[in-house]
Structure 1
Amino acid sequence: MEPHSSPSLLWAPLLLSALLAGLSFGFLLHSLRKIRSRDKINTFGWGLAGTVTTACGLWSSQVAALTAMALPWELYFRTDALGLSATVCLVTSALVLASGRLALNPHGRMTLLAGEIGLLWSLCLWLGLRSLGTPPTGHGAWWLALVLPPMVVVAGALAAAWLALSPRWHQMGPANSRLWLGALLFGLTAGMAQDMALGAQHFVDTLGNVNGLLDVTTAQLAASAGCIVLLLGVFGVMVDNRAHGQNRMLANSLSEANRRLREQALTDPLTRLANRNLFEERLEELLTRLGDEPGSLAVLFIDLDGFKPVNDSFGHVAGDSVLREIGQRLKATARPTDLVARIGGDEFLVLAEMPGGTLGAGKLAQTALETVSKPYVLPNGVHVTLSCSVGIVMYPDHGPSQKLIANADAAMYAAKRAGGSTFAFFEPSMDHDAREQLQLQHDLRSALDRHELELYYQPKIDGYSSQITGVEALVRWHHPTRGLMMPGVFIPIAERFGLIGALGGWVLDEACRQLQIWQNQGLRMRVSVNLTPQQLQQDDLMDRIHRAVTRHKIDRRLLTLEITESVFMQNKDAALRVLTRLAQDGITLSLDDFGTEYSSYAVLSEMPVHQLKIDRHFVMKLGTSLKAEAIVDGIIHMAHALNLRVVAEGVETEEQRDTLVRLACDELQGYLFAKPMPADRLTLWAMGDDTVHGSPDFRPSLYDDGVALLTATS
């Protein structure tokens, strides 16, 4: 029995063998990844599929490799060796999957897989060689078939597993791509090792004493069945990857939807700043982390001054653009550790970590004031200027954590009461004020229904004829427990809590109703009504006035509407349009509190007013201050030059009256003549009723003309 020389090899079967080895390795890795799931059914199914498919693939790979040999005799296979080879493939595949699932870390799993796959492949190759014949000892480089190929396969398996499983290669792309790239690498090394093993072998040509031989065609058919199983497994992997990809897309979509929902839940949709929910969440986190360290954080409550006129006059688009820009400005000027939030309307919050004590918090508030006060350009090109009021609380000095925002709000309102465009630190008294304001606004909402409001009237006296020229309507509130309340107490509350519209509408209607009563009595009495900034910005103001005048059938020339300079200057264009329409409709317009704001010819020349009122601040100083007298004289001359009548309010002494008469002031109003009184008392007072004259609350008329005094001249 002479050995033949080394056989020549056919490349097509070898390439097929390498491909099958690579696919088997890829399916094995995929199965290993799937069986690490917590789902027991999924683990068992993929474990069984991985064992069978990998075994079939490896066994078919070996048969394909063996058929690559071109021998001088017809090729036969020993059935016992092939059967043992198939069994080893099956058992070893199961062991590889089981041990791979139990490995705790990726590096240990890679090493274990590489060693087991290398030994598995080497054993299968040896059994495959045994199925063809017995290599004679002492002939050829037989050790190449037994030592070097397994080493090559182990190295290839280690490299392939490292590429497919190691976290350091995640940046190369998706896990599936790396898995099949590793499978390709293993297939190439397996093909190389098979080529080395088969090329180094010598075979005897006698197998006569061996029972159960298979010819090459039968062996190839059996291997084809294994190939089909492997291809079905690979197809299953593709289907699973597709399903997994779709599930991942759905999961990503769900994650993105959850992210957007959370963003909507925690973000202001207009400014993209944090909303109140996120602000309170961050506040709790910060309090937990910092504890009760003094001065550890500050909360700034920022409320815009004069925003509503802009929003009402130019529309919500313009108002939204201003709010967005303010949000961007505040965020740009805030420190990286600060959180800026919009909690609704024109209110913003700033959470400042370690602000640097009250001095640092004050600097942050001053920065916010300066930032907000810069001019804004609306979408229509109009320039507007706003200001803000800022309330500051320091933790833990200014209250417990759950009251920080409420206390900051109270401090902000204190700053607004001080005139706005400033900041104020929280004080304990503000907490009481805040609770009182909440109670008052609750009571004020039902005051109209309970008929607790009443108009008082303060007369205006003509400076030349000493006749009554008209009255100013002033609202009073007969609170059930607090008694008579002045407008200086509840008007700011009505403005803050959105009640001023209903209150102003009631005052206008009630004044017109009283005008009708006096008109039916034959008394031609002019009545002045103050318009608030919010009323002037109401779109239906003209309709409200028209309905009140029409319903009570009064002469609209007897109705005077008073506005302040500040209301006009907040939004000149919008205010000018409304005032012009009112003047064209026959309503008399009066500029109130003149001298405290801009007080210039430019302002007066733009406003379609008929009279102006000198602020009581200057009137009170007449007789004691030459500067005040000079200012009043200048105002009167300026008004007369513009063909305006002048009213001086706050006249309390005869010296003030005499000075105003000497300076040619047209009308006088003040406690020297009478305090504000109900309509019925005003009529009796003007007629010289002794009962009213004897009242300690009112001074009698200085004039004696009785009812004739009510025939006022314009």
Structure 2
Amino acid sequence: MTAAVLALRFDPAVVVLSYLTAAFASYVALDLAQRVRTPDSLVARTWWIAGSLSMGTGIWAMHFVGMLALKLPFLVGYDTAVTLLSWLAAVGVSAIALRVAAQETLTPLRLAVGAVSMGAGICAMHYTGMAALVLAPGIRWHWGLVAASAAVATGAAAAALVIFFGLRQLPRAWARWCQLVAALVMGAAVAGMHYTGMAAAGIAEGAVCLSADGLRGDNLGNLVAGATFALLLLTLVTSALDARSQRRTNRLQQSLQAATTELQELALRDPLTGLSNRQLLDDRLQHAAARGQREGAHLALLAVNLDGFKPINDSFGLAAGDQVLRETARRLQGLARGHDTLARLAADEFVLMVEGEVGETTLAQIAQRLLDALAEPMTGVPGAGSQPLRLSASVGIALYDGKGPGEALVAQADSAAQSVKRAGGNGFAFFEAHMQAGVREQVELARDLRAALAGEAGNGRLALHYQPKIATAEGEVTGVEALLRWNHPLRGAISPVVFIPVAERFGLIMPLGDWVIAESCRQIAVWREAGLQMRVAINLSMQQLRQPEALVRRFETALAQHGVDARYLTCEITESVAMDDASATERSLQRLAELGLSLSIDDFGTGYSSLAYLRRLPVSQLKIDRSFIQDLESSADARAIVKAVIELAHALGLQVVAEGVETEGQAEVLRGKRCDKLQGFLFARPMPADELTRWATSVPDDRLRFSASVYATLDTTI
């Protein structure tokens, strides 16, 4: 006769606790699934393992608490080994769930396999946990309800996967609330599966618990629930902190991206006026010329060279000059159309690139409007008081004919502007064929120079020659000045006076300057290996100083690549460059000084320097221009000027170098006036690095008194 089956009764409070445990575990599971999808494989694997343990423990605890909600008329205990086995099944189910959640998409096949696997795991966990309750007679199962519980488990698993992938598509503001609702629904589904499985269990009246000596159920429920809640809460807090850290990282990445974009934008802008610089103009000109060749699009350039700008700087000061340039840029920009490009190429040189309708009549009207705008009185200029300033300009116009490189337009427009300037300025002119010879030569030189920089064979080679600087008191070589040379395969040695302006006009001065920096550092390293500690001075251009970030990076790269200390490099800038675009120059020199480089003002005395401004610059040296040195022996005025410069420099704590020293008489005058260093043909002409090495190591100690003729064999074009 079959024993009667007990009517199962549950403690309502513990049932509610089991549901809350299931809902909380579901919420944590949804949160953990987000972490597992991180692109870092190690972090994702760590979250997968930790998440499986935490999520599995939460699900297992819900079933275990639910079993403890069952009120039985006898003392209850659970077999330890079987209970542990049911926990392992819960962790395995969680591992499957998180692995599926880590995928990019939820395909039908992936949903089916994942739901069935998770459903089977949940059932295994539940019924293994039930088996931990060892009864005599054993539990009689209602297989229909067992099948129903398996269906509920599989359906709950499928719903959980669909919900998770659905949450990914929601806005962040909605996702958190939807996650809470989804957790409540999933908790109800998991609890429903559990209590359906419990309803399938038939326990006979008078049954005895054979595992009563195992895990006891009197206070175990509260202990399990508390420990599980603590574990899940810790996991949730950790997940929230990780999410916060991830959001902060994302914000930092976005900020970094914005800063990088801003720096890239700044690198393409003139710092004083905000207009396009040469690099940006060249890029747009190249694309416009390509469209002209491909589609027949029209293109023209207007070169705007201000007349008489230098006297404004000299008369009213640097602040006035900067203000005039900014106002000039503003007026020109006001006349440019949205798709035109206005760029500043030099201190007082602007270029307007016009696309579209560029007939001669239209271009002439544009040029006249530019001249009229600049002729308007300019008031409020610092140093000028109430006196209004009036500007004029020489405008050169060049039209692209659809052939050849677009950069030739720059030279053509500039040639036309120079013809206007020679005729008195304040006007415009179109480029004409008789100007072509000079333009063609410049374009060819620019092409060959670009090829030489790229190291292409047959275009000659660039080289640095070095001229020693001699300490006046000790008579020792204290360093050298690096002078750029270009030996063209057809034209022979080309003077820097010829090819440097070409490089500036055709946008090659930056790569040329980069080459000089890298080659100087390489040579310093070579001399160091040969036992020579040689300080090298290199010349910087205005274009380099206008891009301080790129210039500093280039120095940092070259110094690091060759293991050279920055103190062995001196950067020389001419006085006119130092005074041009004063604020930008000061910022650039400060950055170079912070890098450890020494700074020197070259050709001092040829410009109109502000002593107050010079004191702000981090320079350590002045070089007196050779034009003052030539007349030292015959001109009392020249001697007075040189003496004044030396005393002024020493008062400011600066060393003085005299360049262009060619006679012993000049050297004696300079020694008597306490000039610190001498440089010129009297001691040595510029020479290649290997010849300088032999000269510095093998010439007798009294070499500094030799005449220039001794070194005639070392001569190269200066």
What is the TM-score when the length of structure 1 is the normalising length?
Answer: 0.51
State whether structure 2 residue 275 is matched by structure 1 residue 278.
no
Within 2, Cα distance between the matches of 1:2 and 1:436? 110
- Bigger mean CA deviation after superposition, 115-124 or 349-358: 115-124
Structure 2 unaligned spans of 5+: 444-541, 543-574, 577-605, 612-634, 638-718
* CA deviation profile, 1:429-459 (whole Å, cap 9, x unmatched): 3243569999xxxxxxxxxxxxxxxxxxxxx
Is the alpha carbon distance of 1:65 and 1:369 closer, same or farther for their aligned partners in structure 2, counting shifts above 3 Å? Answer: farther
Q: Give the superposition deviation at 1:27.
A: 1.6
State whether structure 2 residue 7 is matched by structure 1 residue 4.
yes
- What is the identity, as a one-letter code, of the residue corresponding to 2:123? L
Q: How does 1:500-579 map onto structure 2 within 5 Å? A: none
Within 1, Cα distance between the matches of 2:354 and 2:112? 55
Within 1, Cα distance between the matches of 2:79 and 2:163? 34
Within 2, Cα distance between the matches of 1:374 and 1:263? 31
- What is the identity, as a one-letter code, of the residue corresponding to 2:92? V
- What is the identity, as a one-letter code, of the residue corresponding to 1:411? A
Within 2, Cα distance between the matches of 1:367 and 1:107? 66
Residue of structure 2 equivalent to 1:237: 239
Residue of structure 2 equivalent to 1:320: 322
Is the alpha carbon distance of 1:209 and 1:536 closer, same or farther for their aligned partners in structure 2, counting shifts above 3 Å? Answer: closer
Is the alpha carbon distance of 1:64 and 1:319 closer, same or farther for their aligned partners in structure 2, counting shifts above 3 Å? Answer: farther
Within 1, Cα distance between the matches of 2:255 and 2:316? 40
Secondary structure in structure 2 of the residue aligned to 1:29: helix
Asked if the contact 2:303/2:396 (under 8 Å) is kept, the reply is yes
State whether structure 2 residue 53 is matched by structure 1 residue 52.
yes
Residue of structure 1 equivalent to 2:421: 416
Secondary structure in structure 2 of the residue aligned to 1:336: coil
Residue of structure 2 equivalent to 1:123: 123
Structure of greater Rg: 1
Residue of structure 1 equivalent to 2:507: none
Secondary structure in structure 2 of the residue aligned to 1:369: helix
Asked if the contact 1:266/1:278 (under 8 Å) is kept, the reply is yes
Residue of structure 2 equivalent to 1:15: 20
- What is the identity, as a one-letter code, of the residue corresponding to 2:94? S
Within 2, Cα distance between the matches of 1:390 and 1:309? 20
Aligned counterpart for 1:346 among listed residues 340, 345, 348: 348
Within 2, Cα distance between the matches of 1:340 and 1:436? 26
Asked if the contact 1:117/1:157 (under 8 Å) is kept, the reply is no
Asked if the contact 1:295/1:357 (under 8 Å) is kept, the reply is no
Secondary structure in structure 2 of the residue aligned to 1:400: coil
Is the alpha carbon distance of 1:87 and 1:223 closer, same or farther for their aligned partners in structure 2, counting shifts above 3 Å? Answer: farther
Asked if the contact 1:113/1:161 (under 8 Å) is kept, the reply is no
Within 2, Cα distance between the matches of 1:286 and 1:109? 53
Within 2, Cα distance between the matches of 1:374 and 1:363? 17
Asked if the contact 1:392/1:423 (under 8 Å) is kept, the reply is yes
Asked if the contact 2:31/2:239 (under 8 Å) is kept, the reply is no
Aligned counterpart for 2:183 among listed residues 183, 187, 191: 187
Q: Give the superposition deviation at 1:409.
A: 1.5
- What is the identity, as a one-letter code, of the residue corresponding to 1:264? L
Is the alpha carbon distance of 1:17 and 1:420 closer, same or farther for their aligned partners in structure 2, counting shifts above 3 Å? Answer: same
Percent identity between the two aligned chains? 27
Within 1, Cα distance between the matches of 2:143 and 2:112? 34
Is the alpha carbon distance of 1:155 and 1:142 closer, same or farther for their aligned partners in structure 2, counting shifts above 3 Å? Answer: same
Within 2, Cα distance between the matches of 1:194 and 1:367? 80
Secondary structure in structure 2 of the residue aligned to 1:385: coil
Asked if the contact 2:396/2:430 (under 8 Å) is kept, the reply is yes
Q: Give the superposition deviation at 1:241.
A: 3.9
Within 1, Cα distance between the matches of 2:318 and 2:356? 37
Residue of structure 1 equivalent to 2:392: 387
Q: How does 1:30-429 map onto structure 2 within 5 Å? A: 30-31=35-36, 33-34=37-38, 36-37=39-40, 39=41, 41-68=42-69, 76-77=77-78, 82-101=83-102, 103-105=103-105, 115=115, 119=119, 123=123, 126-127=126-127, 130=130, 137=142, 145=149, 147=151, 151=155, 154-155=158-159, 157-163=161-167, 165-166=168-169, 169-170=170-171, 172=172, 178=175, 183-197=179-193, 202=199, 204-206=202-204, 208=208, 214-216=215-217, 217-218=219-220, 221=223, 230-238=232-240, 240-241=242-243, 243-245=245-247, 247-248=249-250, 250-288=252-290, 291-379=293-381, 382-397=387-402, 399-429=404-434
Is the alpha carbon distance of 1:112 and 1:429 closer, same or farther for their aligned partners in structure 2, counting shifts above 3 Å? Answer: farther
Residue of structure 2 equivalent to 1:432: 437
- What is the identity, as a one-letter code, of the residue corresponding to 2:5? E
Q: Give the superposition deviation at 1:289.
A: 5.1
Q: Give the superposition deviation at 1:227.
A: 5.2
Within 2, Cα distance between the matches of 1:422 and 1:135? 109
Secondary structure in structure 2 of the residue aligned to 1:401: coil
Residue of structure 1 equivalent to 2:469: none
* CA deviation profile, 1:386-413 (whole Å, cap 9, x unmatched): 2333222233457522323222221222
Q: How does 1:625-636 map onto structure 2 within 5 Å? A: none
- What is the identity, as a one-letter code, of the residue corresponding to 1:384? L
- What is the identity, as a one-letter code, of the residue corresponding to 1:23? V
Secondary structure in structure 2 of the residue aligned to 1:270: coil
Q: How does 1:573-592 map onto structure 2 within 5 Å? A: none
Within 1, Cα distance between the matches of 2:334 and 2:139? 84
* CA deviation profile, 1:139-189 (whole Å, cap 9, x unmatched): 9x88875555754664355234322x22xx35x35xxx94x6565344212
Within 1, Cα distance between the matches of 2:110 and 2:292? 46
Is the alpha carbon distance of 1:399 and 1:223 closer, same or farther for their aligned partners in structure 2, counting shifts above 3 Å? Answer: same
- What is the identity, as a one-letter code, of the residue corresponding to 2:50? A
Structure 1 unaligned spans of 5+: 439-497, 503-534, 541-549, 553-714
Within 2, Cα distance between the matches of 1:46 and 1:262? 38
Is the alpha carbon distance of 1:435 and 1:42 closer, same or farther for their aligned partners in structure 2, counting shifts above 3 Å? Answer: same
Q: Give the superposition deviation at 1:23.
A: 1.2
- What is the identity, as a one-letter code, of the residue corresponding to 2:253? A
Is the alpha carbon distance of 1:358 and 1:122 closer, same or farther for their aligned partners in structure 2, counting shifts above 3 Å? Answer: farther
Secondary structure in structure 2 of the residue aligned to 1:93: helix
Secondary structure in structure 1 of the residue aligned to 2:407: helix
Asked if the contact 1:412/1:424 (under 8 Å) is kept, the reply is yes
Asked if the contact 1:78/1:210 (under 8 Å) is kept, the reply is no
- Bigger mean CA deviation after superposition, 116-125 or 419-428: 116-125
- What is the identity, as a one-letter code, of the residue corresponding to 1:303? N
* CA deviation profile, 1:664-686 (whole Å, cap 9, x unmatched): xxxxxxxxxxxxxxxxxxxxxxx
Is the alpha carbon distance of 1:204 and 1:402 closer, same or farther for their aligned partners in structure 2, counting shifts above 3 Å? Answer: same
Within 2, Cα distance between the matches of 1:112 and 1:315? 80
Q: Give the superposition deviation at 1:339.
A: 2.0
- For this pair of structures, how many residues does the alignment match? 437
Residue of structure 2 equivalent to 1:614: none
Asked if the contact 1:296/1:353 (under 8 Å) is kept, the reply is yes
- What is the identity, as a one-letter code, of the residue corresponding to 1:158? V
Within 2, Cα distance between the matches of 1:239 and 1:330? 54
Is the alpha carbon distance of 1:123 and 1:436 closer, same or farther for their aligned partners in structure 2, counting shifts above 3 Å? Answer: closer
Q: Give the superposition deviation at 1:270.
A: 1.7
Secondary structure in structure 2 of the residue aligned to 1:377: coil
Q: Give the superposition deviation at 1:278.
A: 1.8
Within 2, Cα distance between the matches of 1:86 and 1:437? 83
- What is the identity, as a one-letter code, of the residue corresponding to 1:28? A
Asked if the contact 1:338/1:352 (under 8 Å) is kept, the reply is yes
Within 2, Cα distance between the matches of 1:110 and 1:340? 58
- What is the identity, as a one-letter code, of the residue corresponding to 2:298? S
Is the alpha carbon distance of 1:302 and 1:429 closer, same or farther for their aligned partners in structure 2, counting shifts above 3 Å? Answer: same
Asked if the contact 1:391/1:413 (under 8 Å) is kept, the reply is yes
Within 2, Cα distance between the matches of 1:182 and 1:110? 23
Secondary structure in structure 2 of the residue aligned to 1:390: strand
Is the alpha carbon distance of 1:112 and 1:49 closer, same or farther for their aligned partners in structure 2, counting shifts above 3 Å? Answer: farther
Is the alpha carbon distance of 1:111 and 1:266 closer, same or farther for their aligned partners in structure 2, counting shifts above 3 Å? Answer: farther
- What is the identity, as a one-letter code, of the residue corresponding to 1:52? L
Within 2, Cα distance between the matches of 1:240 and 1:15? 24
Asked if the contact 2:93/2:121 (under 8 Å) is kept, the reply is no
The alignment's C-alpha RMSD in Å is 4.6
